[in-house]
Amino acid sequence: RRDLNIVLLDEMKELVETQQRQKQQQPQSKTPTTTTTTIVDVRSAERFAGRVEEPRPGLRLGHMPGAINLPFVEVLQPNPETPGGPGLLLKPRDELQRILSRAGLLTSNKDDDDNDKDDKDKSSSSSTTATATSPKRIVTTCGSGATACIVAAALIKCDQDPDTVAIYDGSWTEWGGQPDTLIVTGNDNNNEENET
């Protein structure tokens, strides 16, 4: 039995192809297609969009169709206690929840009263929390499989079920190095350009 938290190339191709089929089945819809898996590319926005060269020579530029971009640096902060230099650590949980919610990876749940439309004057300190979007599966990917682990850890810190978080181990080094994998360029997470 293989590890559910590691995605290999064949499964990744299947996930992307499934998302593409779902997208083609609903071409007129203005709402994004709901899928059971979200692919999160944690490379920089410039690399995601294919606007800069990859650090590894010979790789194609862009990202996987259907992937969203959340650069891993957005979930990190300096650690002043690191001996010998500036280290990094995950941001506090409440900040991570805001970041991951904005990226569409967590949903916002409010206490019972908060759903009442007449209660619009509630202060911003109300008990709104972001929680995991279970049972949705989230696959993180990056350049080589290392920094994808950072966003995976942030998701788990925000109570995403660890069984629903996976890492595409080959990441862009493998995907961008294949001659037959689908690639898009541009930075709009919903309206991709230039599919190859």
Local structure of 47: helix, strand or coil: helix
Contact between 133 and 101 (Cβ < 8 Å): no
pLDDT (0 to 100) of residue 86: 76
**pLDDT tens profile 108-130:** 544 333 433 333 343 333 344 55
pLDDT (0 to 100) of residue 111: 39
Task: Identify each DSSP E strand in 22-136 by its residue range.
Answer: 37-41, 68-69, 76-79, 87-90, 106-109, 129-132
In this structure, of 2-6, 110-114, 141-145, 158-162, the range with the lowest mean pLDDT score is 110-114
pTM for this predicted structure: 0.81
Backbone φ and ψ for 84, nearest 5 degrees, come out as 80, 5
**pLDDT tens profile 167-180:** 999 999 999 999 99
pLDDT (0 to 100) of residue 10: 96
- CB-count burial class (<10 Å; 0-12, 13-18, 19+) for 110: middle
* Stronger pLDDT, 151 or 134, i.e. the higher one: 151
CB neighbours (10 Å) of residue 90? 17
Place of tokens 């059971």: 36
Average pLDDT, the chain: 83
